[in-house]
């Protein structure tokens, strides 16, 4: 009906020839994504992933992430698709991530906005490979490689003499960090650093009869999370560690004599090792007479 009407109108204006051309163009079935993107195996691999069946599969699945891309379908070499992840016309990171977040916006994914990765202009596809049959970042070992491509400082910390066994595969970046963001600092899986540590080192949680305040407050006052030159993962060595806070303690804190010690305890203990020879319960004590963390 509309067609006839238009034809009539155009004929009146003496443009019948042109109209016939336009009609032929309008009736030509619009080419779908896979009509043109038909020869690239890497693109087609998406058919074997959960995303391949989005919106019923086929070319309709493409639209779920790349948008309807009408202009692109009409003149593909000139107009980018609505959302592109590159290589030719990469959309802004925010646009790329928003495309994924139309579906992945709940749970941990709600933390993305405001996360360090979002603010540093990463996008979902900085880590995820949607067209690969196997999205590599979903595997722990591969994820670690991807993280370390950017986090070179952590890479070097991982090989220090004292370290969390990350390279050994016993702990993974994602055991401690949520790559999509977190509620507390450093995108940890837990809200606080200590809750993170307790998730594996439950014995350090207490409650202790005699608490050592810094341990209850923040394990990283004394420990490095990834690696350190000082065993075991300590921020500093021997008495220096303690003397950051106990420079003017009850007794002289220099570990070289018994002169100022209460009761003039054996100075042998002060030599070679350090404060821990006497204050061995450094994380807290439950011994009735464990005040001063000595037992």
Smallest gap, in angstroms, from Cβ of residue 28 to ligand HEC? 11
Find tokens 């579906």 and name the residue: 103
For 88, residues 6+ apart whose C-beta sits below 8 A from its C-beta are 80
Indicate the residue among 23 and 82 with the shorter CB distance to ligand HEC.
82
Q: Is 283 one of the binding residues for ligand HEC (CB under 6 A)?
A: yes
Q: Is 249 in the site for ligand HEC (CB under 6 A)?
A: yes
- The reply to whether 45 sits near ligand HEC by the rule CB under 6 A is no
- The residues in 54-73 that bind ligand HEC, with binding defined as CB under 6 A, are 54, 59, 61-66, 69, 72-73
Among 6-14, 17-25, 219-227, the segment contacting ligand HEC (CB under 6 A)? 219-227
Q: How far is the CB of 205 from ligand HEC (least distance, A)?
A: 7
Among 93, 112, 208, 230, binds ligand HEC (CB under 6 A): 112
Pairing of strands 227-228, 162-163: antiparallel
> Does the protein bind ligand HEC through residue 6 (CB under 6 A)?
no
Q: How far is the CB of 3 from ligand HEC (least distance, A)?
A: 24
Binds ligand HEC by CB under 6 A, chosen from 169, 183, 201, 271 = 201
Name which position in 185, 259, 260, 264 contacts ligand HEC (CB under 6 A). 185
3-state secondary structure the chain: CHHHHHHHHHHHCCCHHHHHHHHHHHHCCCCCHHHHCCCCHHHHHHHHCHHHHHHHCCHHHHHHHHCCCHHHHHCCCCCCCCCCCCCCCCCCHHHHHHHHHCCCCCHHHHHCCCCHHHHCCCCHHHCCCCCCCCCHHHCHHHHHHHHHHHCHHHHHHCCCCEECCCCCCCCCHHHHECCCCCCCHHHECCCCHHHHHHCCCHHHCCCCCECCHHHHHCHHHCECCCEECECCCECCCHHHHHHCCCCCCCCCCCCCCCCCCHHHCCHHHHCCCCHHHCCCCCCCECCCCCHHHCC
Query: Binding to ligand HEC by residue 92, rule CB under 6 A?
Result: no
By C-beta, is 16 or 271 nearer to ligand HEC? Answer: 271
d(CA 197, CA 214): 14
**Which of 51, 93, 208, 230 forms a contact with ligand HEC (CB under 6 A)?**
51
Site for ligand HEC contains 276 (CB under 6 A): yes
Q: Does 183 bind ligand HEC (CB under 6 A)?
A: no
Among 23, 136, 175, 295, contact with ligand HEC (rule: CB under 6 A): 175
37/287 with CB nearer ligand HEC: 37
Q: Where do the DSSP E strands lie in the chain?
A: 162-163, 227-228
Determine, following the binding rule CB under 6 A, whether residue 129 of this chain makes contact with ligand HEC.
yes
**Residue 79 interacts with ligand HEC (CB under 6 A)?**
no
Closer by beta carbon to ligand HEC, 19 or else 76: 76
Is 146 a residue that touches ligand HEC (CB under 6 A)?
Answer: yes
* Smallest gap from residue 186 Cβ to ligand HEC (A): 4
- Closest approach of Cβ 236 to ligand HEC, in Å? 8
| Closest approach of ligand HEC to the CB of residue 99, in Å | 6
Question: Residue 51's CB: how many other CB atoms inside 10 A?
Answer: 19
Output DSSP code: residue 223. B
């Amino acid at each position: 009906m509309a067609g006839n009407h238009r034809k009539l109108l155009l004929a009146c204006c003496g443009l019948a020839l042109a109209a016939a051309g336009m009609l032929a163009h309008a009736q030509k079935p619009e080419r779908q994504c896979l009509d043109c993107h038909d020869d690239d195996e890497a693109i087609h691999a998406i058919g074997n992933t959960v995303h391949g069946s989005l919106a019923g599969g086929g070319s309709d699945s493409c639209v779920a992430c790349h948008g309807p891309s009408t202009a692109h379908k009409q003149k593909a070499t000139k107009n980018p698709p609505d959302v592109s992840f590159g290589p030719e016309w990469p959309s802004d990171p925010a646009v790329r991530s928003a495309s994924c977040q139309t579906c992945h916006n709940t749970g941990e994914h709600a933390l993305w906005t405001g996360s360090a990765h979002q603010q540093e202009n990463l996008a979902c596809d900085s880590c995820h490979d949607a067209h690969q049959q196997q999205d590599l970042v979903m595997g722990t070992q591969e994820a670690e490689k991807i993280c370390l491509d950017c986090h070179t400082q952590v890479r070097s910390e991982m090989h220090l003499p004292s370290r969390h066994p990350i390279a050994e595969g016993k702990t993974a970046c994602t055991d401690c960090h949520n790559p999509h963001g977190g509620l507390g600092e450093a995108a940890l899986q837990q809200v606080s650093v200590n809750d993170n540590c307790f998730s594996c080192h439950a014995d350090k949680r207490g409650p202790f009869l005699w608490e050592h305040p810094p341990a209850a407050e923040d394990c990283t006052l004394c420990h490095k999370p990834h690696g350190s030159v000082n065993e075991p993962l300590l921020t500093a060595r021997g008495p220096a560690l303690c003397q950051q806070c106990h420079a003017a303690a009850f007794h002289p804190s220099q570990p070289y004599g018994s002169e100022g010690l209460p009761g003039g305890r054996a100075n042998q203990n002060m030599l070679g090792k350090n404060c821990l020879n006497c204050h061995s319960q450094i994380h807290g004590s439950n011994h009735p007479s464990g005040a001063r963390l000595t037992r």
